[in-house]
């Protein structure tokens, strides 16, 4: 029998339960990764989910994974299409479970057709399902965070170092390779190795002041780990484990705690996405708030191009367009502006982010967009005062000047 590891958003060898399970058997092992066809075609809002920057990052991540797997004698195959059209259903199937609605639909299709042995593992979240101490998730993050901090324990980290140089995969999609913009706050490559390097560099210094710098726009102002988490080049358990080791060696402070705090935000949105399923994508959000959204093509096109005439918003949008990156502060501001000031359907903004962001993650993106639009996990329905945000976070205009 052959063992198939079906890779999805878990592009690593470290802390990877399907791989460890595969290695327990004597069989031949193969790794397979499938790009969905719908990720490459335009969605109902005219955006292509897998834009060129994320494709490039994915390609780099898969090359890195292929190198690590080759060192273990495991080939990696990359396809466009559906696993059922390619795989032998009588083999042993191992995979890490997904969170997103479409991803889970595909998993169900595969699992119900599968004839051989199969086993699915958690691993995208910091905590396994049984450690989330709620029948139904609380509506607000704070309640979730407090309970998780008190009661939840992550599963054991399974260490495995990635050996072997990146090995180019037969990447089945042509895309335009982008040059690195020297202004980019995300000047990193994809892959487990690059993710581990970034984690080490960040924990060696910048993390000590994270709480003070995290609203800034520079490379080390925040961890820049999101893209590695999004495609699973890093496991959240690896980040927590290395963060705790850092705290044991150097002492904890408010900033080291705050990195964990933000990982809990990620965790919250993951579990919300899992619980809400398709409801997450409704115009009225998970709260069924009746709001009327506009769809003005010109207005949307100007927002996307960074040509609204509001400098702070335009600078962030141009940063996104040129680099595939935007800081958390920027994302909050442009999303609030899109939904609250322009009154446009927040799902179109979210869809644009999906096609542009290197670190796109369905749960974090949709959850944060709904939150900013006032239809998500926030009872206050706040509105950002853009002028005040600009005075606070870009008082000298340095950020705006570099992008406008
Ligand atoms: P850090 O500040 O260093 O935080 C550490 C980690 O905590 C991040 O890597 C991330 O995994 C998690 N985190 C931090 N803030 C949040 C948050 N608000 N929600 C969920 N997780 C968080 N994040 C994504 O990973 N993918 C997305 O597609 C995405 N879309 C977003 C859309 C909008 C409108 C907004 C407001 C936020 C979005 N975020 C998204 C959350 C957040 O902006 C990014 O995770 C963060 O900016 C990534 O930078 P970092 O890794 O340096 O974060």
| Structure confidence at residue 162 (pLDDT) | 83
Closest-CA residue, ligand 1 atom 10, reads: 226
Q: How far is the CA of 226 from the centre of ligand 1 (A)?
A: 6
- In the prediction, which pLDDT does 380 show? 82
Among 364, 367, 372, the mutation site with the greatest number of ligand 1 atoms within 8 A of its Cβ is 364
CB-CB neighbours of 197 under 10 Å: 13
- Report the chain's C-alpha Rg in angstroms: 21
* Closest residue to atom 20 of ligand 1, CA basis: 266
Task: Give how far Cα 322 sits from Cα of 108, 325, 341, 357, 404, Å.
Answer: 37, 8, 24, 11, 12
**DSSP string over 328-391:** HHHHHHHHHIIIIIS-B-HHHHHHHHHHH-TT--HHHHHHHHHHHHTSSS-SS-----HHHHHH
The residues near 201 (Cβ < 8 Å, ≥ 6 apart) are none
Check pocket membership of 68 for ligand 1, CB cut-off 6 A.
no
- Helix, strand, coil abundance in the chain, percent, nearest 5: 50, 10, 40
Rounded to whole angstroms, the Cα distance separating 318 from 400 reads 10
Nearest of 279, 265, 294, 248 to residue 364 by alpha carbon: 265
Residue 153 exposure: Cα atoms within 13 Å on the Cβ side: 2
**C-alpha distances out from residue 261 to 146, 234, 258, Å:** 10, 18, 5
CB of 386 closer than 6 angstroms to any ligand 1 atom? no
pLDDT at 26: 85
CA 93 – CA 119 distance, rounded (Å): 6
Nearest atom (ligand 1) to Cα of 227: 25
pLDDT in tens, the chain (404 residues): 899 999 999 999 999 999 999 999 988 999 999 999 999 999 999 999 999 999 999 999 999 999 999 999 999 999 999 999 999 999 999 999 999 999 999 999 999 999 999 999 999 999 999 999 999 999 999 999 999 999 999 889 999 998 888 999 999 999 999 999 999 999 999 999 999 999 999 999 999 999 999 999 999 999 999 999 999 999 999 999 999 999 999 999 999 999 999 999 999 999 999 999 999 999 998 887 778 999 999 999 999 999 999 999 999 999 999 999 999 999 999 999 999 999 999 999 999 999 999 999 999 999 999 999 999 998 787 889 999 999 999 999 999 999 99
Query: What is the spatial distance between Cα 33 and Cα 96, in angstroms, rounded to a whole number?
Result: 12
Whole-angstrom CA distances from 363 to 166, 215, 266, 367 are: 29, 21, 8, 6
| Ligand 1 and 222: CB distance under 6 A | yes
For ligand 1, is residue 9 a contact (CB within 6 Å)? no
The CB of 273 under 6 Å from ligand 1? The reply is no
> Which is the closest atom of ligand 1 to the Cα of 226?
9
Spacing, Cα 175 to ligand 1 middle (Å): 26
Closest ligand 1 atom to Cα of 349: 34
Task: Report whether residue 225 contacts ligand 1, using a CB cutoff of 6 Å.
Answer: yes
357 lines ligand 1 (CB under 6 A): yes
Please report where in the chains the tokens 């029948």 appear, as a residue. 135
**Burial label, 278 (beta-carbon count in 10 A; 0-12, 13-18, 19+):** exposed
d(CA 53, CA 321): 10
Atom of ligand 1 nearest to the CA of 369: 34
For residue 140, give both structure tokens. Answer: 């607000």
Question: How many A from CA of 362 to the centre of ligand 1?
Answer: 11
| Ligand 1: residue whose CA is nearest its atom 45 | 226
The pLDDT of residue 68 is 97
The pLDDT value given to residue 107: 98
pLDDT at 206: 98
Three-state secondary structure call for residue 121: strand
Q: Spell out the residues 6+ positions from residue 275 whose beta carbon is closer than 8 angstroms to its own.
A: 136, 137
The response to whether residue 304 sits with its C-beta less than 6 Å from ligand 1 reads no
């Amino acid at each position: 029998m052959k063992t198939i590891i079906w890779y999805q958003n878990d592009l690593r060898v470290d802390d990877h339960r399907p791989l460890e399970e595969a290695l327990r058997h004597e069989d031949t092992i193969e790794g397979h990764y499938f790009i969905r066809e719908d990720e490459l075609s335009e969605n109902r809002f005219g955006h292509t989910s897998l834009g060129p920057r994320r494709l490039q990052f994915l390609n780099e991540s898969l090359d890195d994974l292929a190198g690590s797997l080759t060192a273990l004698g495991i080939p990696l195959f990359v396809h466009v299409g559906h696993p059922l059209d390619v795989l032998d259903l009588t083999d042993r199937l191992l995979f890490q479970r997904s969170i997103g609605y479409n991803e889970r639909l595909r998993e169900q299709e595969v699992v119900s057709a599968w004839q051989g042995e199969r086993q699915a593992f958690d691993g995208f979240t910091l905590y396994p399902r049984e450690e989330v101490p709620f029948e139904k998730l609380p509506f607000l993050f704070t309640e979730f965070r407090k309970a998780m901090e008190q009661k939840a324990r992550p599963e054991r980290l399974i260490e495995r170092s990635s050996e072997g140089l990146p090995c180019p995969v037969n990447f089945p999609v042509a895309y335009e390779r982008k040059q690195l913009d020297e202004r980019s706050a995300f000047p990193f490559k994809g892959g487990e190795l690059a993710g581990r390097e970034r984690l080490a560099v960040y924990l060696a210094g910048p993390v000590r002041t994270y709480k003070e710098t995290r609203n800034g726009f520079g490379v080390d102002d925040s961890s820049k780990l999101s893209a590695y988490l999004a495609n699973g080049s890093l496991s959240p358990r690896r980040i927590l484990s290395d963060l705790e080791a850092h705290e044991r060696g150097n002492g904890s402070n408010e900033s080291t705690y705050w990195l964990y705090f933000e990982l809990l935000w990620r965790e919250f949105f993951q579990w919300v996405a899992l619980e809400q399923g398709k409801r997450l994508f409704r115009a009225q959000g998970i709260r069924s708030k009746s709001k009327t959204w506009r769809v003005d093509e010109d207005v949307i096109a100007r927002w996307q191009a960074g040509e609204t005439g509001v400098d702070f918003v335009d600078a962030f949008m141009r940063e996104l367009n040129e680099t595939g990156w935007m800081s958390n502060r920027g994302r909050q501001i442009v999303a609030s502006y899109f939904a609250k000031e322009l009154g446009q359907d927040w799902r179109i903004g979210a869809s644009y982010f999906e096609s542009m962001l290197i670190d796109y993650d369905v749960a974090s993106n949709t959850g944060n967009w709904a939150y900013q639009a006032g239809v998500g996990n926030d009872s206050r329905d706040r509105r950002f005062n853009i002028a005040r945000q600009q005075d606070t976070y870009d008082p000298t205009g340095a950020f705006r000047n570099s992008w406008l």
